[in-house]
Structure 1
Amino acid sequence: MYRFERSGDGGKDIILRSDNEVRLVECKRYTTTEVGRPDIQKFHSAMIDCNAVEGFYITTGQFTKQALECTENKSIQTVNGEQLLNLIEQYVGFEKEVLEH
């Protein structure tokens, strides 16, 4: 069972604790901006600072090619906007409707 904590700063939004393991979650709401390599590097630094075993970087937008390449040798799972909508639809059962802003 995970214990959930909101963080809101330091490159992490959610801290998940289970036994002696820590996982971090970063959430970004972007409609026109992509998550880039520097964003991933900042998040990875937060993971190191917290001794996190895994991280989840979630965005409503997209990741740059360089950002995705940066995660290849790290324990960071990425979820882009389309994947997020698919997960919500799969687990919650809602049909997705994309609203343009």
Structure 2
Amino acid sequence: MEQKKDEDPLLFEHFVADIMTTVRGGSSYVTKSTGDFGIDIEERTEKGLYLGQVKCFNDTNLVGYAPIAIIHSQMVKQGAVGGYVVTTSDFTSGARSYAQGLNIELINGRQLVELWLRHLDTKREWIAEQKLIPQV
């Protein structure tokens, strides 16, 4: 599967982590770029640890089952309560089938945009609630 040529994978990981933290609460940590055993994001919420992997692919390159298998393996190893795989493209039917019953959320490009819009709304509401002191 081919990554988008002009995209910085680490920048995309931070982008997704920020969205997930804002929308779902908790705190997130973007792992180092190498030697992360397939985990890009570690997210802690009131419910526990969630592990994430992100794929910045062209829309013609669908994500298969392998990232889901890696997330599931790491969930078991680290005692995580859930996981997610986020992509700018979409998932194969095999990937969707594989993820069933594993508590791994599959977020495609369209769903990512919807989460991003919720993220922006949340940020906008927070800014509106602040009592800004006018500069004199």
Q: TM-score range with shorter-chain normalisation?
A: 0.7 to 0.9
Greater fraction helix? 2
Is 2:36 the partner of 1:12? no
Determine helix, strand or coil for the equivalent of 1:23.
strand
Identity within the alignment, % = 30
* Alignment gaps of 5+ in structure 2: 1-24, 122-136
Determine helix, strand or coil for the equivalent of 1:22.
strand
| CA RMSD after TM alignment | 1.9
2:13 maps to what in 1? Answer: none
Structure 1: distance between partners of 2:29 and 2:118 = 25
* Alignment gaps of 5+ in structure 1: 94-101
**TM-score in terms of structure 2 length:** 0.61
Structure 1: distance between partners of 2:26 and 2:120 = 20
Select between 3-12 and 26-35 the one with higher mean Cα deviation.
3-12
**TM-score in terms of structure 1 length:** 0.80
Is 2:64 the partner of 1:40? no
Amino acid paired to 1:14? I
Structure 1: distance between partners of 2:47 and 2:99 = 24
Structure 2: distance between partners of 1:87 and 1:19 = 20
Measure how far apart 1:82 and its partner are.
1.0
Q: Deviations over 1:33-76 (max 9, x none)?
A: 21101221112111111111010110001100000011111110
Instruction: Return closer, same or farther for 1:80/1:19 CA change in 2, 3 Å cut-off.
Output: closer
Structure 2: distance between partners of 1:61 and 1:7 = 22
